[in-house]
Structure 1
Amino acid sequence: MRIEEHIIFEDDNIVAVNKPSGLLTIPDRHDNQLASLSGLLKKKYDQIFIVHRLDKDTSGLIIFAKNEVAHKYFSKLFESREVEKYYIGIVNGVLPNEKGSIKESIMEHPVVAGKMVTNPRGRASHTDYEVLESFGIYSFIQLQIHTGRTHQIRVHMKWLGYPIAVDEMYGTAQPILLSAIKKKFKLGKYVEEERPILSRLALHAFKLTFTNMQGEKQTIEAPLSKDMQATLTQLRKHKG
C-alpha cells in the first residue's frame, strides 16, 4: 500500500493517517515492520514516534509525532485525557435510548488471551454513545471515549447488548449482507454466492480535537472508509 494515499494532515510536528482496517498500528512479535502503520511511516520519514494506537480491525484516524518534543507533548495530552476522541460505528440491533453513557470497568479476560471483559475489579472506563440513525436490524452510532482501554468500545457495546457489527470476538462474525436488509433480494443469474457488503469490524475512529503545540484548538477528521460508506448507503436505501 502507498502510505501517502492515507495521510490526511501533517505539519512539522505530527502526521495524521486514515488507517485501513486490518493493518496493525505497530509491528507484531514477528517484527515485520512493513506489516504495520508505524513501519510504513518510518520508511517514509526515517523517524516516527507512536502517540496512541488503534485496534488492527478498527479503521480511521491516528496521529504520530515527527520529533521527540512533539512526542512528549502529545503523549501527555492523551495520558491526561485532554484529547476528545470520537468514533462512528454500526451496531447490531436498535438501541432503546438515543443517548447514553457506559462506565463499566474493564480488565483482561481471565482465560482468553487478548480478550477484555467488564469487571468491577478492572480499570475505570467511560464511553458515551449517541444514535445517529436506526435501520431495524442495525444502528449507526457515534461514540466518545473518555478513557483509552484496550477494545473499550467493543467491550462496552457488548455489555450494553448491542455489539459492533462483524465483531467476531465480542459479537458475531456474521458479515453485513444485502439479503438481510433488502426485501425480495435475489442473486444475479450467474452468481452462486452472495458477497458481503461489509465483512470487517464496523468501527471507525472519526475525529480528534486537541490543543496543538501553537496553543490553538485543532480538530482532525478521517473520512469514512469506502466499505462502511457503501454499507450505510445500502442501509439508508432499504430502510424500513
Structure 2
Amino acid sequence: MTFIITMKQHDSYSTFQPPMRDGVTASKIYLPKLEKLPQSLFVFLCEHFSHISANEWKQRFDDQLILDMRGRKLCIEHPYTENTHIYYYRFLNHEIQVPFQEKILYENDHLLVVDKPHFLTISPSGQYIQETLLVRLKKTTNNPDLTPIHRLDRETAGVVLFSKRPQTRGIYQQMFADRHVKKVYHAIAPYDPELSFPCQVALRMEKGEPFYTMKVTEGKINSQTEIHLLEHDQMWAKYLLQPVTGKQHQLRVHLNWLKLPIKNDPFYPTVVHKDPHDFSQPLQLLAQKIEFVDPITLQALCFCSAYELTL
C-alpha cells in the first residue's frame, strides 16, 4: 500500500504548506482507514516505514519534525487519525560533507542553471540530505519550489537545469521528453586504436544487478549515443558523447560495452564499494554543454561547464 499521496481538495486545511526547514521541504503522508487501528501514530510509522528505524522516528518526534494538517507539532503519543495527512521532515544524524561547491551559471523567472561538482547527489536520498545540490540551492535561493528538470549521477559533474516555478515546470520537462535539448558530455576512457570514430552505439538497456546498475540485453533498442574521439595518448583518450536518449547510466554503459570503461567508474565493468569519505578519484564524466530554445522566452540558450577533463 502506498501512503504518500496528493492532498484531497476537500481537506479543510489543504491550503497549509509547511515551511522549508534548512533547505528541506516536508514530505506528506496520508493515513488511510485501517481494519485495526495502530496504538499510536508512532507505531504506524514504524510498522509501515520499516526502512526507517524506530529511533529515527522517535528523534523526529522529539525534534518536532512531524506536523498535522494545521501545522501543529505532534508528540510521540499522538493517536493514529484515519483519513488525514501528516507532514514530516527528513534528517540525518551524521552526514558526510562534500567538499566541493556548485556554481549558478544563469537564472531567469523560470529556470536556474547550475554547474554541479563531482560527488554531489542531485536530490535527497539515502545517506545524503543537506549535502545534495537541491537542498543547497533551496537554502541559497530560499525557493522551496526548486525542482530538478533532469538528472545527473552523483559521480558526474556538469550542467544541470532546475525549475523555479511549478506553473511552468511541465513545459521544460516536455522539452526534454521531446528531445529538443542538445547535450554534450566529455569522458576520459581507455584508448583503443582498433576502434574507429565517430561511431553510433545503439543498445537495449535494462535494470541490472545490483539494482542500481544497468545492463545490456537483447531486444528493441532503447538507448543511443553518438561518440567522437577528441584526443588521446597511448593509454587514455578524451571522448565527446552526444546522447540521443536519456537512460540511466547510458553513457557509462555504452562506453563500457565498447570495452572503454570511463576512468574511475565505480560501477562498470565491476561494482567497487569505495570509501564515501574518499574524494580523490572522481568519475571522469562531465556534462559539458547543454543547448536549447527556451520554450517560454523563445531565446536560444547555451551553457557550458567550467570544469574540464584532461588526459
Confirm or deny a common fold (TM above 0.5).
Answer: yes
Paired position in structure 2 for 1:107: 206
> Residue 64 of structure 1: CA displacement?
0.1
> Residue 172 of structure 1: CA displacement?
6.7
The amino acid across from 2:104 in the alignment is I
Paired position in structure 1 for 2:15: none
Q: What secondary structure is seen at the aligned counterpart in 2 of 1:61?
A: strand
Paired position in structure 2 for 1:58: 156
Instruction: Answer whether contact 1:207 1:220 (CA < 8 A) is retained.
Output: yes
What percentage of residue pairs aligned between the two structures are identical?
Answer: 27
User: Structure 1 residues 112 and 58, CA, compared in 2 at 3 Å: closer, same or farther?
Assistant: same
Q: What secondary structure is seen at the aligned counterpart in 2 of 1:33?
A: coil
> Residue 215 of structure 1: CA displacement?
1.3
Q: How many angstroms apart in 1 are the aligned matches of 2:148 and 2:304?
A: 19
Paired position in structure 2 for 1:10: 107
Q: Could you list the per-position Cα deviations for residues 43-97 of structure 1 after superposition, in whole angstroms to 9, with x for gaps in the alignment?
A: 2233202211000000000010111233111100011111111100101223521
Q: How many angstroms apart in 2 are the aligned matches of 1:100 and 1:165?
A: 20
Paired position in structure 2 for 1:37: 133
2:302 to 206, 209, 219: 219
Paired position in structure 1 for 2:287: 205
- Mean alpha-carbon deviation: is it higher for 63-72 or for 148-157? 63-72
Q: How many angstroms apart in 2 are the aligned matches of 1:2 and 1:66?
A: 26
Matches within 5 A, 1:104-183: 104-109=203-208, 111-121=209-219, 124-171=222-269
Q: How many angstroms apart in 1 are the aligned matches of 2:229 and 2:271?
A: 22
1:98 to 181, 189, 197: 197
Q: TM-score, normalised by structure 2?
A: 0.61
Q: How many angstroms apart in 2 are the aligned matches of 1:4 and 1:161?
A: 33
Matched, 1:48 2:154: no
Q: What secondary structure is seen at the aligned counterpart in 2 of 1:34?
A: coil
Q: Tell me, which stretches of 5 or more residues in structure 1 are unaligned?
A: 175-197, 236-240
Q: Could you list the per-position Cα deviations for residues 28-48 of structure 1 after superposition, in whole angstroms to 9, with x for gaps in the alignment?
A: 045x53121111112223320
The amino acid across from 1:22 in the alignment is F
Q: Could you list the per-position Cα deviations for residues 131-161 of structure 1 after superposition, in whole angstroms to 9, with x for gaps in the alignment?
A: 0001111000110011110000000000011
Instruction: Answer whether contact 1:16 1:62 (CA < 8 A) is retained.
Output: yes
Higher relative contact order (CA 8 A, sep 6+): 1
Paired position in structure 1 for 2:176: 78
- Considering fraction of residues, name the structure with more helix: 1
Q: Tell me, which stretches of 5 or more residues in structure 2 are unaligned?
A: 1-97, 273-279
Instruction: Answer whether contact 2:229 2:240 (CA < 8 A) is retained.
Output: yes
> Residue 123 of structure 1: CA displacement?
6.0
User: Structure 1 residues 3 and 48, CA, compared in 2 at 3 Å: closer, same or farther?
Assistant: farther
Q: How many angstroms apart in 1 are the aligned matches of 2:99 and 2:283?
A: 22
The amino acid across from 1:219 in the alignment is C
Q: How many angstroms apart in 1 are the aligned matches of 2:256 and 2:283?
A: 13
Instruction: Answer whether contact 1:88 1:204 (CA < 8 A) is retained.
Output: yes
Q: What secondary structure is seen at the aligned counterpart in 2 of 1:39?
A: helix
Q: TM-score, normalised by structure 1?
A: 0.78
Q: How many angstroms apart in 1 are the aligned matches of 2:220 and 2:283?
A: 25
Q: How many angstroms apart in 2 are the aligned matches of 1:170 and 1:4?
A: 26
Q: How many angstroms apart in 2 are the aligned matches of 1:65 and 1:2?
A: 25
Work out which of the two has the higher radius of gyration on C-alpha atoms and give 1 or 2: 2
Paired position in structure 2 for 1:195: none
Instruction: Answer whether contact 2:202 2:221 (CA < 8 A) is retained.
Output: no
The ranges of structure 1 where at least 4 consecutive aligned residues each deviate by more than 4 angstroms after the TM superposition are 1-5
The amino acid across from 2:124 in the alignment is P
2:117 to 5, 20, 26: 20
Q: How many angstroms apart in 1 are the aligned matches of 2:270 and 2:100?
A: 31
